[in-house]
Structure 1
Amino acid sequence: MIHLSAAVRQNLLSLQGTADLMSKTQNRLATGLKVNSALDNPNSFFTASALNNRASDLSSLLDDMGQGVQTLKAADDGIQAITKLVEAAKGKANQALQSNKVADRRRFAQEYNDLLTQIEDLAKDAGYKGKNLLAGTGNDLSVIFNEDGTSSVTIDAVDYTDTSGALGLADLTVGTSGTLTISEAALEAGDESNDTLTVTVGGSNVATIDYGVGTTSEDVITALNAIEGITASTDGTDITVTSDNGNIVIDDSDTTADLATQTGTGYVEGTFDTDVSISASLETLNGALSTLRSQASTFGTNLTVVENRQNFTKRLINTLEEGAGKLTLADTNEEGANLLALQTRQQLASTSLSFASQADQAVLRLFG
């Protein structure tokens, strides 16, 4: 058994304590933490762990919030584009109202319908990562704001993939002109002295044509073409008559050499054929624009909410991590100074130990 003097033992213990403190200080400098485990400081360690865990949970929600923001932006972009198309459709209705030609009005009606098709296609394409707030059922968006799911917002989807639904914009009836075919032979066989042809469109008498002896097909065609809304032509055998405003009826007033009553078919009134219908369409378009603007405002409010919560969550995560850091992070300046002081203490303790050993060795000199 080895026996050490009290002075040597005291210096040795001091050196061991200093070495232990230096090890801890060096570990703090290496890791940057003053609390590396529950052994260092249980209260600080577990509190910091809880704070860091919550920050981690919130960080995972930030991604979902970001995707929610993008989904809302996609829907808002879609609404802005749809609004422009509805305004274009309104322009077509106004053009139709300013025209007095049925053929032009029907062309505008067809272009109007084409715009509605584009609106529906655009709404179908306004999705983001499989979620489309303009495609109705099954597309509601839920964004969670906190780690236990008790704070969230749900954005209801609207359905603009069918314009006749939420927007109330149904396809227009373009309209079809009535047609009538008369053989030239029958027409020229029925004329006689003082005879006339009565022309009726949609039940209203629009003209009377001279049908006396010697009246030719060309004469009748010329007279028909002079009537507004009626067009007549011949292929040399049959005369084709079209009427924009209703089915046409041509009747021979003298029945001696009678031309059988000729009745046209196929007429369908178009939505833009009358001013009243066009005005009704304009009113519906104004309602659709109001609906779109209201929905854009709703999505804008939802977007503001999600963006604000996203920014708040970022700040909260920073606060949580900062709080955890205050409990566990080491002050590297302080630890560096501590290490320097400990190194100095170690050197002094080593010197003191040397002196104590020399004192013990002095006893040997007494017997020298």
Structure 2
Amino acid sequence: MATVSLSSGVRSALTSLSQTTAASQQGQFRLATGKKVNSAVDNPVNYFTSAGLNDRAGQMTNLLDGISNGIQTIQAASQGIDSAVKLVESLQSTIKQAQADAAANRPNKVGAADVLATAAEVTATGGKSRKDIALDKRISAAGAPAAATASSAGHLINATTTPATALTVSAGSTTFTVDLAANATVRDLVNTINSSGLATASVDDSGRLNVTAAGSDTLRIGLGAGADATAARTNSTAAGNQNAAIGLATADGDAAGAGIVASGGNSTVRSNLIKQFNDLRTQIDQLAKDSSFNGKNLLAGDKLSIVFNEKTGTQQSKLDVQGSVLTAANLGVLTAGTTDAAGVSFNIQNDASLDTASDTLTNALTSLRSTASSLGSSMSVVQTRQDFTKNLVNTLTQGADNLVLADSSEEGAKLLALQTRQQLSQTALSLASQADQAVLRLF
């Protein structure tokens, strides 16, 4: 095969055209792909660095799904607590309704069967009211019980053989006992009962002594007389006829004064509130069970782990949110009833139990709000990390793109220049060929 020799001019034009064509093809490829580095051949450092950055950005993007699920799980628990707070507040309202039921509306009152002052005494004292006559009478004095006159206030118990007197007021398991002075009057008796904190006493216009319990516990009132203080206290708690203690003087003078009266009853208003209270209490348990997301329930004691970075082992960054079991029992809210049962129910008829229940509900609200605050703190951390991760993904992606992406404006300008240059190279090649042909014409 014969060898064809090219002139230096043609060879130079061909070389320039070849280089321009290759550069033009490269520019077209960069514009088509949008990248200036498409493989490790183009730029090994930039290619592999970009790949590493994109890989980490992809891993962080995958973590965003877990972070988002974690936020929803915490929000579900937070919404459950908010609703539980409303239920507890409704329970408080129920307790307040029960407490607002006035003691006067409950059948828990003691009253003397007979009045302590008569119409005859009103006349004998010059028109003094029955109420004042009764209040001024002495509890005990020597001699048979005496009616009031213009010169004597009168007395109820013969203190000849039983000089000591004592008062006992009891409500439920609480008992108040006090020794009365030798010259104590019915007014002193009323004031002493009122000071017990267990009942309220008064004498009405008809001269009758009435005692009303401060709460719903069975009320017992006893006034006893005896040879000494011990005997008087014993007699004040002995069962007997009410009149023996605080009624009118009878023929025998009721020297022992051993009467005691018991009275108690349930409030219809409070009884009607039992179901309302217990239904609300049940809803707390049911609401907590429903506060789950994607199989996780922080109000059922589940533990939530939210991973924030792509590392493992000790280098892994995560947040553990430990849930707690939310139930009415754990909040200390007992079932409402009419009888006390330790650890099971509280007596809604009992004022002291209502006070305890009210305090318990206040403590329950404090506990719920503390849990809500803890969840809110965890939510803040997770949301901050979510925003950080999104920004970091953007930073990684942008950094990777900066290493491999082409500047379309720059590449377009280069391609245009190369095309012009390619045309010039073709023209130069044509001129070189014409020069060679001109030599051949000489022969």
State the TM-score, normalized to the length of structure 2: 0.60
Residues 197-276 of structure 1: pairs in structure 2 closer than 5 A: 271-276=347-352
Counterpart of 2:385 (choices 285, 309, 320) is 309
Matched residue, 2:305: 142
* Residue equivalent to 1:334: 410
Look up the SS of the partner of 2:273 in the other structure: helix
SS of the residue corresponding to residue 298 of structure 2 reads coil
- Distance in structure 1 (CA, Å) of the matches to 2:439 and 2:283: 110
Is 1:300 aligned with 2:376?
yes
Picking from 266, 285, 288, the partner of 2:364 is 288
After superposition, the C-alpha distances for 1:209-258 in whole angstroms (9 at most, x for unaligned) are xxxxxxxxxxxxxxxxxxxxxxxxxxxxxxxxxxxxxxxxxxxxxxxxxx
Corresponding residue number in structure 2 for 1:126: 291
Which amino acid letter does the alignment assign opposite residue 170 of structure 1? L
Runs of 4+ displaced beyond 6 Å: none
- Partner of 1:50, secondary structure, is helix
Tell me how far apart the structure 1 counterparts of residues 78 and 396 of structure 2 sit (CA, whole Å).
34
Q: Number of aligned residue pairs: give it.
A: 271
**Paired residue for 1:153?**
319
- 2:333 equivalent in structure 1: 169
Aligned with residue 94 of structure 2, among 84, 92, 95: 92
Stretches of structure 2 lacking an aligned partner (at least 5 in a row): 107-266
1:119-145 CA-partner distances (Å, limit 9, x unpaired): 111111111111111111xx2111111
SS of the counterpart of 1:28? helix
Please show how residues 19-98 of structure 1 align to structure 2 within 5 Å.
Answer: 19-98=21-100
Work out whether 1:108 is the aligned partner of 2:184.
no
Larger Rg: 2
Alignment of 1:338-353 (within 5 A): 338-353=414-429
Q: Distance in 1 between matches of 2:437 and 2:338?
A: 122
Q: Shift of residue 320 of structure 1? A: 0.5
Pair 1:314–1:27, CA change in 2 (3 A): same
Gaps of 5+ in 1: 177-268
Percentage of matched positions with identical amino acids: 47
CA distance in 2, matches of 1:270, 1:172: 5
1:172 Cα deviation from its structure 2 partner: 2.6
Deviations 1:252-308 (A, max 9, x none): xxxxxxxxxxxxxxxxx9611211111011111111000000111111111111111
Q: RMSD between aligned alpha carbons?
A: 1.4
Deviations along 1:284-341, one digit per CA (max 9) or x if unpaired, are 1111000000111111111111111101111110011110111011000000000000
Match of 1:357, SS?
Answer: helix
Give the AA of the match of 1:81.
S
Aligned pairs for 1:349-360 (under 5 A) are: 349-360=425-436
- State which of 16, 19, 35 in structure 2 corresponds to 1:17: 19
Alpha-carbon separation, structure 2, partners of 1:88 and 1:348: 91
- Separation of aligned partners in 2, 1:122 and 1:174: 26
Q: Which amino acid aligns with 1:29?
A: L
The answer on whether the counterparts of 1:106 and 1:270 sit within 8 Å (CA) in structure 2 is no
Q: In the alignment, is the contact (CA less than 8 A) between 2:63 and 2:309 conserved in 1?
A: yes
Structure 1 CA distance, aligned partners of 2:396 and 2:424?
Answer: 43
Between Structure 1 and Structure 2, which shows a larger proportion of helix residues? 1
Tell me which amino acid in the other structure corresponds to 1:288: A
Q: Offset of 1:175 from its aligned partner?
A: 4.0
CA contact (8 A) 1:110 1:174 kept: no
Distance (whole Å) between structure 2 residues aligned to residue 128 and residue 152 of structure 1: 19
